[in-house]
Structure 1
Amino acid sequence: MGQSIFVIDVKEGEFYYAGFNPTCERVTGISTIAAQGKTPQQIHNPQFAQIVRQHYQECLTLGDSITYEEYLPFQGQEMWWLTTLTPIRDQQSQIYRIVGTSLNVTPQQKIEAALQQSQTKLNDILNSVGAAIASFRLFANYDWEYEYCSAGSQVIFGYELQEARLDKYSWMSRVHVDDRVAILMPLFQDFFAERTVTVEYRFHHPSGALIWISGTYASRRDWAADCWVVTVVSHDITDRKHIEAALQRSEEQRRLALEFAHIGSWDWHIATNTTVWNETHFHLLGLVPSQERVSQQLWRDRVHPDDLAHIEQAKDEALSTQTDYSQEYRVVHPDGSIRWMLGKGRAVPNAEGRPVRMLGVIMDITDRKQSEQALRDSEEQLQLVLDANHDGIWDWNLLTNQVFRSRQWYEIIGYTPNDFTIDYEEWIDRIHPDDVEMVLIAQQAYLKRRSPDYIVELRMRCKDGSYKWCESRGTAQWDGQGRPFRMVGSLRDITARKQRSAELQRAKESAEAANLAKSTFLSNVNHELRTPLAIILGCSELMRYDKSLSSKQRERLGTIERSVQHLMDLINNVLELSKIEVGAAKLHLGIVNLPDLFQSLEDMFQMQARSKKIQLGIDRSSSLPQLVQTDESKLRQILINLLSNAVKFTEVGSVQLKAWGSTHQTLVESSPLTSSVSHRLHFEVADTGLGIAPGEIDQIFEAFVQAESGRKSKKGTGLGLTITRQFVQLMGGQITVRSVLGEGTLFSVELPTQFDQSQSTVSLPTLSLDRLNTPQPDQTLKARLSMMSDTWISSLHQAAARLNADRCLRLIEQIPAEHQSLALALRDWVNRFQFDRVLSLTRDPK
């Protein structure tokens, strides 16, 4: 049998071993002869001898049987025992002997240790995920007591379990007052109804931050404790932009206790088929000793029908082979409850070697079976947690250098658990060679506590030979001497994120290269094209003064001038557009004489309009002031671009420029009695040309885009309207267009400005040649000017009359070095837009 029996003699207060049964001899490795007459101190290791003697002394002192659990190793093996000591008295009622029976319960202890290890692993993994898990008991009076808080509670809420227990209302007080009343307080009814609910609420973190929490609450009734056990899983969702999938977490708080049942003994006489049970045997079967008559059939009636056959077969085999019998089976109590039993037995042979009796014991192992089932459930729950999380989990034992990895860990890099051993080095072998050193340095820095975190990005080789970018992070445990012994963490696939980052970097580099190429191109255009084109244009204009030229030659000169001017316009537009795109275009406000501006525009386009036999008209309203504050250069360019397009694309009819001013008065909010006055300029350029199709209206302001009429005529660059709109917007105005295909187009421009309405009736001098009233220029400058050719002076005079600053500056560049004082004066006047001084000097140079 599995039960060890030993006898101790009590003499003068000391204990002496008298004998062991065969089981005891086999288990302890000590024979009865070797043990007889020896004390516990002589038999057991000193570490355990004193404890053994204390139990003997307790039995002697109480004078009654005692049962206890003890750890007592024999023959180098760890063993746990359930021991019963029974005192034996003589005729004078003096205890002279103690009989001890011990049952080896080591398997139950190992199961309990395995269950505890599984629970520890589960807690470590739960603490490694980014959630706060708590459990508390809720009572009918709405009071509660905290039982458990995961490490995530400290991270998310800033509270530990001990703090919550010391001041349980502090946490509730930090919930946003609106959410406390509307969301959390109604939860008590859900708790009492054992409903599972998920809510979101705001929480004032001890750091001062207001964070958002998603909490899932599950409640169950604990009738024994007359309360409800509420489990809550909370997540910080403050910075969450994308929720992959709500992690399904279910935390059950178990109190696992293995209670070793009393031992039931039985003695079966085979020949008479009679059986003797002790009282415990009756209780284990759910029977009352005084109400039942012992028999084999009574035992069979209590065994679960599904288990009876194999139990009977095992007994028969034990009798026939005279071997030990050990079976686990279920018994059904009269009340219908089912208990698990461990039955052990051994045949007792007679002198001829035939079995005549069978002695055995039964013990209730229901708790052990439940523990085994709980262990399986816990492992299944652990696997569910791992399956719900897309990250791979790893658990590294630094003492054995072995690594546990979850199924997801293998799936990330395309492997199965069968492709790996638990050896740590196998993981290192699959890291990209260029990343190994970095990973090892990061690990050692963290394990030696030189770095607060272990987070690395590395490339892992997949089963197909390709590499994936992964993020590995972990947390370690250190012993009392500061030595790391365990590290738990996760592996995440970040390949897609890395690819997006690389694409963004390539796009950035490509854009920078394009900008550099653009800048180089514009620089070359500015320096390599404008200068020779200006020279060509100047030479062409000088040749026109040659009276010997034939009409054919003059026509060709006109073609050259128009072509060069077209290229110059294109270059100027491209450069101007590039300034706008980089934000280099600035406003230069000044006082502008509108009548003179309109006169110059009329002079500029009148000849072209007459050559096409179309009418050019400028209508200035009486509401238009003479002087306004604006950027004259940009206003001029806006009107030139619009008039140029109108004349260019009108073959029959007219081109009309209409201008007027308006004043708007609005109340100032801070002072109801005070008003604010704003002034605006309005311009309309209307033509009777080809018109623009409705589908092209939205495109004509885009760079290098022309309407169908422009593409057919092969005129223009497709930049004029783009620059016009940019200038209008830069000046704070707006531009609109209406057009009817085949009838004409109307462009409207509205610009803010500042002017005095009273100036509208003031007559000011303009830049007309016959109305100049300016100071007389310095006689030295006149002398210098007289050294230039009449052709050159006439060209400068005409350019100044047309307010053509670029043309003036090109002509000034032709002044010889010995007359630089003249060049400096003229250049300063042109840059300041003082064309009246230029005209005064060139009108009568001699």
Structure 2
Amino acid sequence: MHRRRGSAYQLLKLVEDSGEVGFWWLDLETGRIDGSVGLLRITGLMSDAELHALFADLVHPDDRAMQADILDILQRGHPVSRTFRIVRPDRSVRWVRLKGQVVLGPAARPIRAEGVLFDVTLPQEATLLAEENRLRYQNLTRTLAAAEWTASPQGQRRPSASWQALTGQAGPDQQGDGWQAVLHPDDRAMAAGAWQEALIREGTLDTDFRLRCADGLHRRYNCRVTPLRDGRGHVVEWLGILLLGLSGGAGLAASAGQPLPDVTPALVRAARALLDWSAPTLAAAAGVSLSSVKRFEAEGMVRDATRRAIREALEGGGIRFHRDPSGEAGVLAAKGAASRPPLAPAQRPVPKAPEALTSAG
């Protein structure tokens, strides 16, 4: 038994050495409170004689009214679990979580309470900061955005209450490609293509389109989407907002951005997706071998002439490679580009920018 008690004491001491937990014992008949070294460390008190303040003066003034019944609850034989702030003698503020249970004596009368006090300052402040940030984001988007929405890492749209309020489209109908149903018919292909491009390159989206609102009228909105990444850089969610009366510029004007001096494998894959071209289709349009296309998209290692032929084939199909004002590389598709049959090399004109990029105008 002595060895077991010694082991229990060493275990409690090990727990207390973390600096974030302390133990207390309250005699419900005399009102005497005893505390462990860890409890004194958390509260900043010097001795057990001062521990009566744990249930009174030590409690933050703004929290006292809500915690004034702790002793009464224990006296009646009920357990307690509360989280509140204390003001230590050095005037520093700590968040603590107090838990206590009651020991009954003869005639089932409460005679003693014992419990634990956790210093939860860091997690509590992190929770409060996260909540403040959430409310700040919520208030900001409600002020600036007509609607907001999220999507899975793979781009699967989730139902949005604000989207439903704006368009009248029910949550289940927004999922998959359903959200496109409330876009202006002339803008659907462009918006869908821009979204697919952003997914492929895992980059931001800034484009405009017209949306049929709940009142049946079409209004122009600027759609901005950005990926939310984890610590390893992986996309864990997509965040999107609609802004009324703003123009992103980069997604609609033929003169938007700056020409790219060269193309990358990621841009070529995005361009193929916009045109709905397979790798064999691109190879045939460029007049190069299928293995060259696959090698370029996988490694980017091909001859300059092959690279140039691939770019010209895509541009001949209605693609424009560009760099937006922020310097990010992107791909634009000419209106109706996805429905055009690819041109053989001999049929293509001298490469130039598409004469009419998709517009919401």
1:301–1:387 distance in 2 versus 1, CA, 3 Å: closer
Pairing partner for 1:360 from 82, 98, 115: 115
What amino acid is aligned across from residue 87 of structure 2 in structure 1?
Answer: V
What amino acid is aligned across from residue 44 of structure 2 in structure 1?
Answer: G
What amino acid is aligned across from residue 38 of structure 2 in structure 1?
Answer: T
Q: Aligned-pair distance for 1:494?
A: 5.7
1:455–1:400 distance in 2 versus 1, CA, 3 Å: closer
What amino acid is aligned across from residue 98 of structure 2 in structure 1?
Answer: G
- 1:645 paired residue number: none
Pairing partner for 2:210 from 439, 452, 459: 459
Tell me if 1:332 matches 2:84.
no
What amino acid is aligned across from residue 396 of structure 1 in structure 2?
Answer: A
- 1:316 paired residue number: 72
Distance 2:203 2:58 in 1: 62
SS of match in other structure, 1:491: strand
Q: Aligned-pair distance for 1:284?
A: 2.4
SS of match in other structure, 1:427: helix
Q: Where does structure 2 lack aligned partners over 5 or more consecutive residues?
A: 253-361
- 1:794 paired residue number: none
Q: Aligned-pair distance for 1:389?
A: 5.3
Tell me if 1:369 matches 2:124.
yes
Distance 1:486 1:298 in 2: 44
- 1:491 paired residue number: 242
- 2:182 paired residue number: 430
Give per-residue Cα distances to partners, 1:155-193, cap 9 Å, x unaligned: xxxxxxxxxxxxxxxxxxxxxxxxxxxxxxxxxxxxxxx
Pairing partner for 1:282 from 22, 40, 44: 40
- 2:196 paired residue number: 444
Asked if the contact 1:331–1:338 (Cα under 8 Å) also holds between the matched residues in 2, the reply is yes
1:69-468 correspondence runs (5 A): 88=7, 100=11, 261-289=19-47, 293-294=49-50, 296=52, 299-320=55-76, 322-383=77-138, 386=141, 394-398=149-153, 401-403=156-158, 415=166, 421=171, 424-425=175-176, 427-433=179-185, 435-448=187-200, 457-468=208-219
Q: Aligned-pair distance for 1:304?
A: 3.5
Distance 1:295 1:452 in 2: 57
SS of match in other structure, 2:108: coil
Tell me if 1:470 matches 2:221.
yes
Asked if the contact 2:103–2:113 (Cα under 8 Å) also holds between the matched residues in 1, the reply is yes
1:471–1:301 distance in 2 versus 1, CA, 3 Å: closer
Give per-residue Cα distances to partners, 1:83-130, cap 9 Å, x unaligned: xxx974xxxxxxxx88545999xxxxxxxxxxxxxxxxxxxxxxxxxx
1:102–1:435 distance in 2 versus 1, CA, 3 Å: farther
**What TM-score do the two structures reach when normalised by structure 2?**
0.51
Asked if the contact 1:261–1:365 (Cα under 8 Å) also holds between the matched residues in 2, the reply is no
Give per-residue Cα distances to partners, 1:722-774, cap 9 Å, x unaligned: xxxxxxxxxxxxxxxxxxxxxxxxxxxxxxxxxxxxxxxxxxxxxxxxxxxxx
1:801-840 correspondence runs (5 A): none
1:392–1:363 distance in 2 versus 1, CA, 3 Å: same
Asked if the contact 1:386–1:406 (Cα under 8 Å) also holds between the matched residues in 2, the reply is no
- 1:32 paired residue number: none
Distance 1:459 1:353 in 2: 73
Distance 1:452 1:284 in 2: 47
Distance 2:75 2:61 in 1: 22
Equivalent residues, number: 244
Asked if the contact 1:268–1:274 (Cα under 8 Å) also holds between the matched residues in 2, the reply is yes
Distance 1:283 1:478 in 2: 39
SS of match in other structure, 1:378: helix
Give per-residue Cα distances to partners, 1:399-444, cap 9 Å, x unaligned: 583448797xx5xx9729x986485356334223554455434433
1:459–1:262 distance in 2 versus 1, CA, 3 Å: closer
RCO higher in structure (CA 8 A, sep ≥6): 2
> Identity of paired residues, percent?
23
Give per-residue Cα distances to partners, 1:817-845, cap 9 Å, x unaligned: xxxxxxxxxxxxxxxxxxxxxxxxxxxxx
Give per-residue Cα distances to partners, 1:575-608, cap 9 Å, x unaligned: xxxxxxxxxxxxxxxxxxxxxxxxxxxxxxxxxx
1:753-792 correspondence runs (5 A): none
Give per-residue Cα distances to partners, 1:212-252, cap 9 Å, x unaligned: xxxxxxxxxxxxxxxxxxxxxxxxxxxxxxxxxxxxxxxxx
1:349–1:103 distance in 2 versus 1, CA, 3 Å: farther
What amino acid is aligned across from residue 111 of structure 2 in structure 1?
Answer: V
What amino acid is aligned across from residue 287 of structure 1 in structure 2?
Answer: L
Q: Aligned-pair distance for 1:374?
A: 1.9
Distance 1:328 1:452 in 2: 42
Q: Aligned-pair distance for 1:280?
A: 2.3
Asked if the contact 1:303–1:329 (Cα under 8 Å) also holds between the matched residues in 2, the reply is yes
Q: Aligned-pair distance for 1:278?
A: 1.4
Larger radius of gyration: 1
Q: Aligned-pair distance for 1:487?
A: 3.3
Give per-residue Cα distances to partners, 1:627-654, cap 9 Å, x unaligned: xxxxxxxxxxxxxxxxxxxxxxxxxxxx
Distance 2:70 2:55 in 1: 15
Asked if the contact 2:207–2:248 (Cα under 8 Å) also holds between the matched residues in 1, the reply is no
Q: Where does structure 1 lack aligned partners over 5 or more consecutive residues?
A: 1-6, 10-17, 19-85, 89-96, 105-259, 502-846
SS of match in other structure, 2:127: helix
Q: Aligned-pair distance for 1:460?
A: 1.0
Asked if the contact 1:476–1:488 (Cα under 8 Å) also holds between the matched residues in 2, the reply is yes
Q: Aligned-pair distance for 1:358?
A: 0.5
**Aligned-residue CA RMSD (Å):** 4.9
Distance 1:364 1:267 in 2: 17
Distance 2:73 2:155 in 1: 44
SS of match in other structure, 2:131: helix
What amino acid is aligned across from residue 276 of structure 1 in structure 2?
Answer: D
SS of match in other structure, 1:293: helix
Asked if the contact 1:461–1:468 (Cα under 8 Å) also holds between the matched residues in 2, the reply is yes
Distance 2:31 2:114 in 1: 13
Q: Aligned-pair distance for 1:309?
A: 4.8
**What TM-score do the two structures reach when normalised by structure 1?**
0.24
- 1:596 paired residue number: none
